Amino acid sequence: MASVELQAPLLRNVNNGDGMNSHNNNNNTGAVGGAKAKKKTGGARLWMKFDLMGQSEVLEMEKSAIIKRVSIPPRDLRILGPVFSHSSNILAREKAMVVNLEFIKAIVTAEEVLVLDPLCQEVIPFVDRLRQQLLDRHQLKGGEVQSTGGQWLPIPEAADGLQCELPFEFQVLEIALEVVCTYLDSSVADLERDAYPVLDELARNVSTKNLELVRNLKSNLTHLLARVQKVRDEIEHLLDDNEDMAHLYLTRRWIQNQAAEAFSGKAASNSIVPAAVNLPQVSLNRSASLMTSNQSDDTDVEDLEMLLEAYFMQLDGTRNKILSVREYIDDTEDYVNIQLDNQRNELIQLQLTLTIASFAIALETLIAGVFGMNIPCQLNDINGVFGPLVGSTSAFSFLIFLLLLGYARWKKLLGS
């Protein structure tokens, strides 16, 4: 604990010293040098560092400093950039694990974790949960995390052979998956709460306003489903490849490297391990067993597999909820389409009825037009012929209307 408290002031002193040197250099080189310095530091981003004991520190580092600190290729930092803001990647590197899950972007090593943009509103729950988890872990573990020459060495198993908790990197990964899954599940719950009333209202009243609300709902559902699917596919990809999961065991590889250095130094000096290394006896025994184990031990990914399967099932349940909402949307659209088709059929039937009536009236109009011509006719000399002629003509037209209407009903062109 004392070592951690001493490291922070040393780091601040080094930073202050660098700042004074750069300030003096800027004064010596003039305005042009100051502009170049500002341009050089323009790529710095805000990070928060957590060590094994839960101690946090906010840092502002450039890409080159990050690459040198955690030994990752530059393309991994591009994955953590804003272009891939909603992508999902869990990548294993030589000494670090790059985690890009939705809004959580972090670089995890066996000794520390660097969280990008820790002051973002969505990242704050992850930062708080990570700090609390590491502090509780340190209090429970007690003296099982020991200082070895300025480095912090976790002991993977207790001396009595009992299995201990997950390695540091898996604890960070578990917290990240838990925060992301909780966020996505909350988003799906909000979507369900807003979706069903809007869809029920659309089923009752098909209007432009309700159609616009459903269109926005479908757009949000599509984006949310894609985000859940990305995280789910990334976990599924890891579960399908034991080699990729084995590469994520950073603590195991780190202990193997420490043990290799310790044994090589012991063989070279033909004496005990130097005090600068000072590895605990339990850790040395564990490291020796790891070094002499066969390849099957390196591919033992049962702990990580169980961890990923739990969150895979949770994401699968969240995905099923979204698919259920989409299915309800599809059912509502089908119901609305049936309503519209029914109204369209009623309009067609009304149009057919009016067309038959218009045809019957046109026949009567034709007869009236024939008698209205200025042509000599004997009927014009008969008194009282107007009434019976008009009545018979109207009756004939009405009879034609009934015949055509009955024919249409017989052909099932009109509803009964």
Encoded amino acid at 182, one letter:
T
Look-up: residue for tokens 């025994």? Answer: 285
Residue 58 Cα distances to 11, 47, 127, angstroms: 12, 6, 12
Q: Give the C-alpha separation, 264 to 258, whole Å.
A: 10
Pairing label, strands 97-101, 45-51? unpaired
pLDDT value at residue 74: 86
Task: Tell me if the domain spanning 44-155 has CATH number 3.40.50.1440.
Answer: no
If you average pLDDT over every residue of the chain, what do you get?
77
Instruction: Give the closest residue to 89 by CA, choosing from 104, 103, 79, 100.
Output: 100
Encoded amino acid at 211, one letter:
L
Confidence of residue 160 (pLDDT cuts 50, 70, 90): very low
Confidence of residue 201 (pLDDT cuts 50, 70, 90): very high
pLDDT value at residue 29: 42
Confidence of residue 295 (pLDDT cuts 50, 70, 90): very low
Instruction: Give the closest residue to 329 by CA, choosing from 181, 216, 205.
Output: 216
Q: Which of 61-75, 83-97, 161-175, 287-301 has the lowest mean pLDDT?
A: 287-301
Q: What is the pLDDT of residues 31-76, one digit of tens each?
A: 334 434 444 444 788 999 998 888 889 989 888 888 888 888 888 8
pLDDT value at residue 269: 60
Average pLDDT over residues 331-348: 92
Q: Give the C-alpha separation, 267 to 285, whole Å.
A: 16
Q: Give the C-alpha separation, 191 to 329, whole Å.
A: 12
Q: What is the pLDDT of residues 230-275, one digit of tens each?
A: 999 999 999 998 888 888 888 888 887 777 777 776 655 654 444 4
Confidence of residue 137 (pLDDT cuts 50, 70, 90): confident
Q: Which of 8-17, 242-251, 350-359 has the lowest mean pLDDT?
A: 8-17
pLDDT value at residue 83: 66
Helix (H, G, I), strand (E, B) or coil at 20: helix
Q: Which of 22-26, 50-54, 212-216, 321-325 has the lowest mean pLDDT?
A: 22-26
Encoded amino acid at 256, one letter:
Q
N residues, the chain: 416
**Which neighbouring-strand residues pair with 51?**
112
Helix (H, G, I), strand (E, B) or coil at 56: strand
CA atoms within 13 A on the CB side of 297: 12
**Which neighbouring-strand residues pair with 281?**
none
Judged against a pLDDT cut of 80, whether residue 187 lies above it is answered with yes
Instruction: Give the closest residue to 45 by CA, choosing from 105, 103, 116.
Output: 116
Tokens of 166: 């997950």
Average pLDDT over residues 332-361: 92
Instruction: Give the closest residue to 321 by CA, choosing from 186, 129, 413.
Output: 186
pLDDT value at residue 270: 52
pLDDT value at residue 268: 58
Are the CB atoms for 403 and 362 separated by under 8 Å? no
pLDDT value at residue 84: 65
Higher model confidence: residue 265 or residue 335?
335
Are the CB atoms for 284 and 155 separated by under 8 Å? no
pLDDT value at residue 136: 82
Are the CB atoms for 201 and 209 separated by under 8 Å? no
**Which neighbouring-strand residues pair with 116?**
47
- Dump the DSSP string for 42-93: GG-EEEEEEETT--EEEEEE-HHHHHHHHT--HHHHHHTSGGGTT-EEEEE-
DSSP state of 293: S
Helices (H) and strands (E) in the chain, counts: 12, 8
Tell me the whole-structure pTM to 2 decimals.
0.69
Residue 50 Cα distances to 46, 105, 131, 137, 207, angstroms: 14, 14, 8, 13, 54
Q: Give the C-alpha separation, 101 to 184, whole Å.
A: 11
Instruction: Give the closest residue to 333 by CA, choosing from 221, 170, 179.
Output: 221
Q: Give the C-alpha separation, 380 to 386, whole Å.
A: 9
